[in-house]
């Protein structure tokens, strides 16, 4: 039983809920509980989409600085890869994943949000990578995923300055995908991913793999990767159902197989 990360599945939507008051600081235990939750949801065919949520007050306001304060280079050299891989497991969930952000998503919390496919952000939320103010840089994907999402110049602005951005700026630069009142964040996240619970799960998986994997490749390699994934879907039941439904002019009944 996890102490700080709770999971539930309702109507095909799995929720990974951070529950470490007051600010959901991402200590080592939370990181490993996130890894376990993401691994379980990846393997569960009953979970068709995922929401990462910190609750009504705060998403996650960063790493546990008290835990890190006395760590040496040797200590962190042994730990840094595990932090990165924990968020990498979440980023690799082969299903649509949305972060539902209230309050603050700072440091490791922002990196957690960056590992999701979309970010629904409260209109009074603050996001940022303030690690430079502690004499370090983001170590859980912040320099890499942020640059890919908002571009290198904007990423350098946020990482070099450590400043926080409000929801309006986050939306403008592409760090947020929806901005809504705080009380509507979770429900908006549910509405965003609900259509995928009845979608063709293998095609959604392939689409995510194609886009995320292709970002790491040159164009020719990305096109070859796309072709391979595209062809593979012709072995699925959902492909047969989708095309039959189109020919028969009816709504498809996808099973995820």
* CATH number of the structural domain spanning residue 45: 3.90.226.10
> Among 74-78, 116-120, 194-198, which is the least confidently predicted range?
74-78
Q: pTM value?
A: 0.94
Both 217 and 115 in one domain: the answer is: no
Both 63 and 150 in one domain: the answer is: yes
Domain that holds residue 169: 5-197
Both 191 and 208 in one domain: the answer is: no
Both 108 and 210 in one domain: the answer is: no
What angle do helix axes 152-161 and 142-150 make, rounded to 10 degrees?
A: 140
Both 34 and 55 in one domain: the answer is: yes
DSSP element (H, E) containing 84 = helix 73-91
Is pLDDT at 62 greater than 90 in this prediction? no
Q: Is residue 49 part of a domain?
A: yes
Instruction: Determine whether 111 is an active site residue.
Output: yes
What pLDDT does residue 2 have?
A: 84
What letter would DSSP give residue 63?
B
Residue with tokens 């799995």: 14
Span 239-252, pLDDT tens digits: 999 999 999 999 99
Candidate list 111, 168, 169, 226, residue with the active-site label:
111
Mean pLDDT score of the chain, rounded to an integer?
A: 96
Sorting pLDDT into bands at 50, 70 and 90, what band is 1? low
Q: Is residue 232 part of a domain?
A: yes
Share of the chain above pLDDT 90, in %: 93
Rounded Cα distance between 156 and 160, Å, is 6
Helix residue ranges per DSSP H, the chain: 28-43, 65-68, 73-91, 108-114, 142-150, 152-161, 167-173, 185-193, 201-214, 219-232, 237-247
Q: Is residue 256 part of a domain?
A: no
Of residues 249 and 64, more confidence is placed in 249
Q: What is the mean pLDDT of residues 127-143?
A: 96
Both 98 and 139 in one domain: the answer is: yes
Candidate list 67, 131, 168, 216, residue with the active-site label:
131
Here the CATH number for the domain that contains residue 216 is 1.10.12.10
């Amino acid at each position: 039983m996890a102490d700080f990360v709770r999971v539930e599945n309702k109507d095909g939507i799995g929720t990974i809920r951070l529950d470490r008051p007051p600010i959901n600081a991402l200590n080592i235990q939370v990181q490993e509980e996130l890894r376990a939750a993401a691994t379980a949801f990846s393997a569960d065919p009953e979970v068709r989409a995922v929401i990462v949520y910190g609750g009504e007050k705060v998403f996650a306001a960063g790493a546990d600085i008290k835990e890190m304060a006395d760590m040496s280079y040797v200590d962190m050299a042994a730990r840094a890869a595990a932090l990165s891989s924990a968020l990498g497991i979440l980023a690799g969930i082969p299903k649509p994943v949305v972060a539902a952000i209230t309050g603050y998503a700072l440091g490791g919390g922002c990196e957690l949000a960056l590992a999701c496919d979309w970010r629904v952000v409260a209109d009074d939320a603050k996001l940022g990578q303030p690690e430079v103010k502690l004499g370090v840089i983001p170590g859980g994907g912040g320099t890499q995923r942020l640059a890919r999402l908002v571009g290198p110049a904007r990423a350098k602005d946020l990482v070099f300055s450590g400043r926080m951005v409000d929801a309006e700026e986050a939306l403008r630069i592409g760090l947020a995908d929806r901005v809504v009142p705080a009380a509507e964040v979770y429900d908006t996240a549910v509405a965003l991913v609900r259509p995928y619970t009845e979608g063709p799960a293998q095609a959604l998986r392939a689409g995510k793999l194609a886009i995320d994997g292709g970002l790491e490749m040159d164009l020719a390699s990305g096109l070859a990767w796309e072709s391979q994934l595209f062809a593979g879907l012709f072995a699925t039941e959902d492909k047969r159902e989708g095309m039959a439904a189109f020919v028969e002019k009816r709504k498809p009944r996808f099973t995820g197989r």
